[in-house]
Structure formats: C-alpha cells, structure tokens
Homo-oligomer: A and B are copies of this chain.
Amino acid sequence: MADRSSAILLIRCPDAKGLVAGVSGFLYEHGANILSTDEHRDDETGQFLMRVEWDLEDFGLDREALARAFDSAVARRFDMQWRVAYSQEPVRVALFVSKYLHCLSDLLHRRREGELRADIRMVISNHRDAEAIAGFYGVPFHYIPTAPALKAEAERRQLALLEEERAGLIVLARYMQVLSPEFVARYPARIINVHHSFLPAFSGARPYHAAFERGVKLIGATAHYVTDVLDDGPIIEQEVVRVSHRDQLADMIEKGRDAERLALARAVRWHTEHRILIDGRKTVVFV
C-alpha cells in the first residue's frame, strides 16, 4: 500500500442520516477508487468521525478542486470539520530526545526499514548523546540546552527550527523537559509523548520507581498527545509488560523500554498514516 498514490479524507461532524451516502456518493462521482473506509459514531457525544482513503489514479479532482467541491457539495451540509492528506506528502517529523535513546533509535531504524512513512527532519536534544545515532541515520541534529535560565530561549530556537522545516508532528521520544503552554498551543494534537507508565497510573516523575514501590505485576507505557495538563492528553496507545517480585527497579526500567518502544512506534505510525482523530478527551484510532 505504501507506494500507491492515495488521498485520505478525515471528517468530524455531528451524526446525521446520509453522511456515509453523502461522502461516498461524492467520491464515486469523481471517480475515486476507495481503498478503505472507517467510521465511528460516538454514542456519548453524538459525533461522527470518518476516514476514507482512495486511490488517486482515476480521481478527477486536484487538491484545490477537491477542497472546493467537497466543501460545497458535502461538508457544509453536515457541518463538517475535515482535512485531506496525501500519501505522497509524508508528515514532516521532529524528534525530541534527552539521554535515553531506545525510542529514538527504534524510530530511526523503523524509518530506514520503511515501516514508518514519515519524513524525519531533525533530532532536537538538550544533551549530546543522540548526536551520533542521528548522524548515522542521516538526520540533522540540533543541540539546544534547556537549563532553567535558558528555557525560554530554548523554546524560541526550537520553534524557529520547527517552522523553518515546516514540521507537522513533534515526537517526544523520552524528552525529559516540560514544554510551555505557549509551545503546546502551537501544535495542538501534533505533539506525541511517551510516558513510561500505564496512565493514569503513575503520572508525573519517576513512574518506574512508583510502580516498583507499589508492587504492581504489570508495568506499562502510554503514548499520548500533549496538552497543557501533564500526562493528561488523549491516549493513543498503551502497552504492558509482565513483571514479578524478581524484578528489581533496574529490571523494570529495562523491561519497560520494550513497552515504550512499541507504544510510541505504533502511535507515530498511526499519526503519520492519518489514522487518528481526536474525539473530546479521547482518540479514535482507525486501524
């Protein structure tokens, strides 16, 4: 599927009769060869969410024509929020990391293997540890220290780089700094963090220490969108690993890395494949 040139339409609107007929009828009229359709009706909120992907080969509308036609023929009628993405324009990604490199290495390796259809533009870090591995995978590395006195300046530099490279997604691959509300507001539902616990358990600092002290039998990791409230954004994916009394703190940290890698890799993949829609405090993931 990776090399077909396709378009993806993401829709959110109040549920109503005729929605699927409206969207699929429109696409059919214009010659779309649909590859997949996914929908969700949220019984609580009354929202309807939809993802359609179609082959562009016989499709009769270019980008502007599609936007105009869809807006007037369908979107207005159903009061839709919508956007279109094109498979030939991979999401431009910035990876933020501090000293733990397991998630970063994993993402870079998956990119090289072709598992991740993302355009990784840069690695930004407040440490130099990631410089070599970024270089090995051919990704520009930017060292931006974040000592308290430098924090505001650091965010300015980060934002400048993100804008320059037109980053569409920021991935906090074990980045141990809290972003300011202003920074977060610039990238709504476009910053993915991996928290090293099974949220909402053990939010905040040192979750493995807390899990170890509580004596849990499973540890976890959570990939979520970043919002103003720490570790509170919409959850995208969670993964767990079994532990026992034999696992010391160091063992839990090591085992947890496997959960972190998997949860974050899936979240980034789904985001860059335009499979995630925000539904209030939650995510809808069409996989």
Contact = CB atoms under 8 A, between A and B. Distances in A.
Given A35-B41, A244-B285, A258 B262 contact: yes
Contacts of A32: 17
A49 to B, nearest CB: 8
A52 B81 CA distance: 24
A215 B235 contact: yes
A36 B235 CA distance: 23
A180 interface: no
Nearest to A269: B254
A133 to B, nearest CB: 8
A238 B254 contact: no
Interface in A80-106: 101-102, 105-106
A165 interface: no
A105 B105 CA distance: 9
Q: Tell me what chain A mostly uses at the interface: helix, strand, loop, or mixed.
A: mixed
B21 A33 contact: no
Interface string A97-128: 00001100110010001010000000000000
A236 B214 CA distance: 11
Nearest to A200: B201
A240 B214 contact: no
A214 B258 CA distance: 24
B40 A246 contact: yes
A156 interface: no
Contact of A215 (B20, B33, B234, B248): B234
6 contacts: A17-B33, A42-B245, A43-B248, A199-B201, A217-B236, A258-B262
